[in-house]
Amino acid sequence: MTTTSINQLEKVLKVTIFESQKRHGKPLFAVIGLTNDQVKPAIRDLDIIYQRKVNNLTDNKITKSTS
């Protein structure tokens, strides 16, 4: 996943959350059926996945520039 892809994904997620709240009057997590006690772990998991993608991009750039 490229930096551009990650940025696009973030924009899509922000728009999706906004539209969900506008349409349903509640957060996206409630719309997809997560309970309050499931939201924090879900966000943590998404953050871990995101950080892995960012780290992989950084590692790939370093590898390409040194080879």
Tell me if the pTM is above 0.85: no
Distances (CA, A) of 43 to 26, 34, 36, 49, 61: 17, 11, 11, 10, 27
pLDDT of residue 8: 73
Q: Is residue 14 very low, low, confident or very high in pLDDT (cuts 50, 70, 90)? A: confident
Q: Residues, the chain, total?
A: 67
Task: Read off the pLDDT band of 21 (50, 70, 90).
Answer: confident
Within a 13 Å sphere around the CA of 57, how many CA atoms are in the beta-carbon half? 13
For the chain, the average pLDDT equals 70
Which single residue is written with the structure tokens 């349409």? Answer: 23
d(CA 31, CA 21): 9
